[in-house]
Amino acid sequence: MDKIFLHGMKAETLIGLYDWERKQKQTLVLDLVIGVPEKSAADDNINDTVHYADVCEAVRSSLKNQQFLLLEALAEHVAGLILSDFGAVWVRVRIVKPGILPDVREVGVEIERSREI
């Protein structure tokens, strides 16, 4: 399987369990790895692959209008969006919530999902 990736993508959303977390949107850092059809490399046609700029725009736009309690739910939302809207066959979503705990550089979640064919 061929893969494209977006590492270090920043997006804002309302996320968290605690009242103090829900007062304003937080910036999250996403790493996305997206499985694409192997034919995308063979014919050099953008229509046969996943356009990563469109993925970035769609994820940011969707998260901007959503709110989540858990990073797990947010990751599931992003994975579903990529699989359903972009025809990806597989996706890995890693989301980091930086600076949320004292003396911890990163807290996050990582999931992998695939589309049923």
**Tokens describing residue 107:** 């807290």
Give the number of other Cβ atoms within 10 Å of residue 90's Cβ: 17
Residue 64 per-residue DSSP state: H
pTM of the full predicted structure? 0.91
Token pair belonging to 16: 């968290």
Q: Which residue has the higher pLDDT, 16 or 47?
A: 16
Catalytic pick from 3, 25, 64, 97?
97
Q: Using a pLDDT cut of 90, give the percent of the chain over it.
A: 69
pLDDT value at position 18? 87
Give start and end residues of each alpha helix (H) in 1-117.
39-43, 52-64, 71-86
For the segment 86-109, the average pLDDT, to the nearest whole number, is 92
State the first-to-last Cα distance of the chain, in angstroms, to the nearest integer.
Answer: 15
In angstroms, the CA 96 to CA 78 distance is 13
pLDDT at 27: 95
97 given a catalytic annotation: yes
Supply 98's token pair.
Answer: 């930086």
Whether the predicted pLDDT of 65 surpasses 80: yes
**Interval 95-100 mean pLDDT:** 91
Query: What average pLDDT does the segment 91-107 reach?
Result: 92
Beta-carbon contacts of residue 56 (< 8 Å; ≥ 6 apart): 6, 9
Residue 41: pLDDT band by 50, 70, 90 thresholds?
A: low
Give the pLDDT band of residue 60 (cuts 50, 70, 90).
Answer: very high
From the CB of residue 34, how many other CB atoms can be counted at a distance below 10 Å?
Answer: 24
